Amino acid sequence: MQLEDLRIYTAVVSAGSFTAAAEKLMLSKQYVSRRMAALEASLGAQLLIRNTRKLSVTDAGQTFAQHAQRILDDVFEAEQAVTGRRSALQGKFRLSMPMSFGMNPLSPLIAAFLTRHPAVQLQLELADRYVDVIGEGFDMAIRIGSLSDSSLIVRSLGTIRRIVCASPAYLERKGRPLHPDDLHQHDCLRFGREGQLGWELNVNGKRKIISVEGPVISNNGEVLADAAMAGLGLVLLPEFIVGAAVAQGKLVSVMNEYHPESLPLSAVYPQHRQRSDITRALLDFLKESPVLSNRPVDNT
C-alpha cells in the first residue's frame, strides 16, 4: 500500500466515480482503476462496488475511507510543521454537536471561526445522538452532561445552566410555584428521558428527584420552549434555549434557589487529533468566546 493509493482512494470516494477522481487528480482513468484494484488486493477486502451505472462504497470501504482521510490529514500537518510553509490554518475537520446547542449559540461562533480561518473546511453534524467519535471519523464532538470513561481526550468549555420557567399567562392562571413540592399541582413540559423520570432539583443543598406530569414530552428543547411560551406549562431547560425568551419577558424564571446543578460543557477528541492545529485553534476560540461565558438570566 502506498500513500498515493490513499489519496486516490479518498478522491474516488469523494467524487463518486473513477472518471471524476481521475480528472480531479489529473491522472488517467485506467491508472486510477489499476491502483484501486491493487489497493483492494493488498487489503484482501472489497472497498468499492463497480457497475455500469454507478460506483458504491462497501461498509469496509467507508471505514477505510475515514481512516485514510485521517492519515492524509496527519501527513499534511506533519509536512507543514516541518517545512513551515503554512501561512494560514487550513485542512478538513469533522465536528459533531448537539442539535439545539449547535443552532444557538454555537452556530454564530462557528461562522466567526471560519471567517477568521477561511481555508478550513468544516463538516458539521448537528444531532442529539451520541456519536462514535473514532468509529465515525469525527475530529471532535461537543457534549453536554457527564461523560463516560473513554480513550477520548476531554477539554472543559464551561457549564450550562438550567432553569425552570413558564409564561406570564400560565403563572397568572395556575399560580407561581414557590417550592419543588408545588410542582405536583402544575403542568410540566418534560424533556426526553430525564423528564419522564422526574426533575432533579436542588433542595436544601441536596439533589432531589421531583415527579412531574404534563401534556407534552419531547426530545427537542425548542418544541418545549414554544409550548411554554404558549402557556401550556412549566419547563426545565438550559438557558441557551430559553434565556432570550426570559430576557424578553416571554418566559419567567421561577424557583431560582432550587434550580438544578449546571451541566458540564466539554469538547472530546481522539488522541491522534491533539496535535492538530485546527483542534487547538478551535478549542482556544471556543474557550475565549464571551458567548459561552456563564451569565445568569433572571427577570424576577
Dihedral (CA of 262, 128, 230, 109) sign: positive
**Per-residue pLDDT at 77:** 72
Q: Check whether 299 has a pLDDT greater than 60.
A: no
Q: Model confidence over 60-77: pLDDT tens digits?
A: 988 998 888 888 877 877
Kindly state the average pLDDT of the residues 212-236: 93
Phi, psi of 69 (to 5 degrees): -65, -40
Q: Model confidence over 3-30: pLDDT tens digits?
A: 888 989 888 888 888 888 888 887 888 8
Q: What is the mean pLDDT of the chain?
A: 86
**Per-residue pLDDT at 298:** 43
Kindly state the average pLDDT of the residues 161-190: 95
Kindly state the average pLDDT of the residues 176-185: 94
The rounded distance, in Å, linking the Cα atoms of 216 and 214 is 6
Q: Model confidence over 98-126: pLDDT tens digits?
A: 888 888 888 889 999 999 999 999 999 99
The rounded distance, in Å, linking the Cα atoms of 235 and 238 is 10
Q: Check whether 59 has a pLDDT greater than 70.
A: yes
Phi, psi of 205 (to 5 degrees): 80, 5
If phi > 0 it is left, if psi is from -120 to 50 it is alpha, else beta; for residue 285 that is alpha
Phi, psi of 151 (to 5 degrees): -85, 0
Residue 120 is which amino acid? V
Dihedral (CA of 194, 195, 197, 199) sign: positive
Kindly state the average pLDDT of the residues 266-276: 83
Supply angle C-alpha 103, 105, 111, rounded to 5.
Answer: 75
> Residue 140: pLDDT band by 50, 70, 90 thresholds?
very high
Report residue 128 as a C-alpha cell: 442529539
Q: Check whether 225 has a pLDDT greater than 90.
A: yes
**Per-residue pLDDT at 161:** 92
**29-43, 163-177, 285-299, range with the lowest pLDDT:** 285-299
State the pTM of this model: 0.66
In the sheet with 162-166, reading across from the earlier edge strand, the strands are 217-218, 188-191, 234-238, 162-166, 252-254
Kindly state the average pLDDT of the residues 52-67: 85
Of the ranges 76-80, 150-154, 260-264, the best mean pLDDT one: 260-264
Give percent above pLDDT 90 in the chain. Answer: 41
**Per-residue pLDDT at 71:** 86
Q: Model confidence over 77-105: pLDDT tens digits?
A: 776 666 555 557 888 899 999 888 888 88
Distances in Å between the Cα of 18 and the Cα atoms of 41, 60, 69, 96 are: 17, 18, 18, 30
**Per-residue pLDDT at 296:** 44
End-to-end CA distance of the chain: give it in Å, rounded.
Answer: 66
Kindly state the average pLDDT of the residues 136-159: 85
**Per-residue pLDDT at 252:** 97
> Residue 52: pLDDT band by 50, 70, 90 thresholds?
low
